[in-house]
């Protein structure tokens, strides 16, 4: 019985490791949008078995980061202006709803977590740690809505947006924005429980990225 349990645990661990690695490669564009994902190539790349890779790709289809292209094949989810526009529209609608609820139910505990997440984000300098802290800040803003399903959708939409935001960050004009100041405005309004200003600042933050990114996707 112990041997079976150990084997099962190793398989689960290998699948999880493959999932995390492949997810990161898709989000950063190392595995480009629309690229066919061949099990054998990925198995060699990740130095793991075919079964964990296949299971990881199946999990990523649920995340909408991978698509099945035939009975056994997979590809990284394609990118397009239409897809980005839909993601942006849904993010604005759902996150505004969640932020309004979060501020309406504001508590000292939520404010403390928001202060901490904002502080951590401002301290991060390298891309990987900033990305984790950035998502943590945005999700903390919404976390007091007490709506697990709504928060889950917002988190998934955030992840779907990452590939597009990474593409936007590659353009020379992207850094002309004062993004830390945009975050500060959202944060200060939320802490002051000014729901209208917080929502306006959040949606402006997303739409500025959206407007810029759309100009970078004309070839898709």
What does the pLDDT look like over 166-197, one tens digit per residue? 766 655 555 578 889 999 999 999 999 999 99
Closest residue by Cα to residue 134 from 172, 103, 104, 161: 161
Mean pLDDT (whole number) for 52-72? 91
How far is 74 from 57, CA to CA, in rounded Å? 7
Provide the CATH number for the domain formed by 81-216 in this structure.
1.20.120.530
The structural architecture, per CATH, of the domain 2-76 is Orthogonal Bundle (1.10)
For residue 70, the tally of other CB atoms under 10 A from its CB is 7
Mean pLDDT (whole number) for 98-122? 97
CA pseudo-torsion sign 73, 52, 155, 187:
negative
- Domain extent listing, the chain: 2-76, 81-216
Q: What does pLDDT average to over the chain?
A: 89
H or E element at residue 68? strand 66-68
Residue whose entry in the numeric block shows the structure tokens 């094949």: 73
How far is 27 from 64, CA to CA, in rounded Å? 11
Rounded to 5 degrees, φ, ψ at 76 are: -65, 135
């Amino acid at each position: 019985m112990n041997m079976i349990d150990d084997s099962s645990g190793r398989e689960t661990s290998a699948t999880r490791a493959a999932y995390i690695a492949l997810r990161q490669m898709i989000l950063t564009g190392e595995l480009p949008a629309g690229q066919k994902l061949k099990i054998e190539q990925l198995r060699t790349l990740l130095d793991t078995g075919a079964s964990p890779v296949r299971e990881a790709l199946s999990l990523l289809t649920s995340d909408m980061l991978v698509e099945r292209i035939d009975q056994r094949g997979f590809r990284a989810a394609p990118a397009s202006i239409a897809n980005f526009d839909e993601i942006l529209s849904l993010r604005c609608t759902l996150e505004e709803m969640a932020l309004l609820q979060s501020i309406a139910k504001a508590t000292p505990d939520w404010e403390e977590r928001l202060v901490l997440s904002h502080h951590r984000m401002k301290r991060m300098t390298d891309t990987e740690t900033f990305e984790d802290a950035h998502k943590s800040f945005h999700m903390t803003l919404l976390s007091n809505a007490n709506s697990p399903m709504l928060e889950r959708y917002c988190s998934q939409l955030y992840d779907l947006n990452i590939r597009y935001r990474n593409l936007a960050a590659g353009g020379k004009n992207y850094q002309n924005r004062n993004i830390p100041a945009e975050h500060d405005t959202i944060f200060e309004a939320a802490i002051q429980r000014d729901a209208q200003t917080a929502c306006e600042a959040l949606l402006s933050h997303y739409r500025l990225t959206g407007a810029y990114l759309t100009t970078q996707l004309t070839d898709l």
